[in-house]
Amino acid sequence: MSTIRQILLALALAGSVMAMSQPVVINHDANRITLNGDDWTSLISYLNNPRRHNYKFTIVHIGDSHVQPGIISDEVRRTLQERYGNGGRGLICPLALAGTNEPSDYVLKSSASISASSRLLSSSKPAGMGMTGVAVKFSGAGTTLSIKAKHDGADFYRITMFHSTGKSFIVEQNGIPVRGKQRSTTATDYVLDTETDTATLRLRGDGALFGVRLLNGKRGVVVDCIGNNGATYRSYLNIDNFARQISDLEPQLVIISLGTNEAYGSFGNLTSNIDQMLNDIRRVCPGVKFLLTTPMETQKRSSRGYHIQSTIAEVRDLILAYGKSHHVAVWDFYQVAGGAGASNRWLSSRYMKTDHLHLGNDGYHLQGRLLAQALLRLLTGEDDGCDIVEPINKLGTSDLLDQSGR
pLDDT tens-digit series, residues 147-185: 999 988 899 999 999 999 999 999 999 999 999 999 999
The pLDDT, as a whole number, for residue 151 is: 84
249, 224 contact by CB (below 8 A): yes
Which residues are CB-contacts of 123 (< 8 A; sequence separation ≥ 6)?
none
The pLDDT, as a whole number, for residue 53 is: 62
pLDDT at 115 over 60: yes
Average pLDDT for 356-375: 97
pTM score, whole prediction: 0.90
**Rounded to an integer, what distance in angstroms lies between the CA atom of residue 168 and that of residue 213?**
14
Which of the two residues, 55 and 135, has the higher pLDDT score? 135
Pairing mode of beta strands 253-257, 56-63: parallel
249, 114 contact by CB (below 8 A): no
Name the residue type at position 311. T
The pLDDT, as a whole number, for residue 142 is: 87
The 3-state secondary structure of 35-81, one letter per residue: CCCCCCHHHHHHHHCCCCCCCEEEEEEEECCCCCCCHHHHHHHHHHH
The pLDDT, as a whole number, for residue 15 is: 40
> b/e string for 30-47 if b means 16 or more Cβ within 10 A?
bbbbbbbebebeebbeeb
Rg (CA), the chain: 22
219, 53 contact by CB (below 8 A): yes
Category of 115 on φ-ψ map: left (φ > 0), alpha (ψ -120 to 50) or beta = alpha
Average pLDDT for 385-390: 54
Check the CA dihedral 129-133-139-145 and report its sign.
negative
pLDDT over 90 for what percent of the chain? Answer: 82
How far is Cα of residue 9 from the mean position of the Cα atoms in its chain? 43
**Rounded to an integer, what distance in angstroms lies between the CA atom of residue 90 and that of residue 245?**
15
Average pLDDT for 7-36: 64
pLDDT at 105 over 60: yes
Which one, of 290, 288, 276, lies nearest residue 238 by Cα? 276
A 10 A CB-CB count for 16 gives 10
pLDDT at 39 over 50: yes
The pLDDT, as a whole number, for residue 404 is: 35
pLDDT at 405 over 70: no
Q: How confident is the model at residue 402 (pLDDT cuts 50, 70, 90)?
A: very low
78, 62 contact by CB (below 8 A): no
- Which helix (H) or strand (E) is 136 found in, with range? strand 134-138
**Rounded to an integer, what distance in angstroms lies between the CA atom of residue 89 and that of residue 78?**
10
A 10 A CB-CB count for 141 gives 10
* Side-chain half-sphere exposure of 305, counting CA atoms within 13 A: 1
Which one, of 162, 64, 173, lies nearest residue 121 by Cα? 64
pLDDT over 70 for what percent of the chain? Answer: 88
157, 198 contact by CB (below 8 A): no
The pLDDT, as a whole number, for residue 54 is: 66
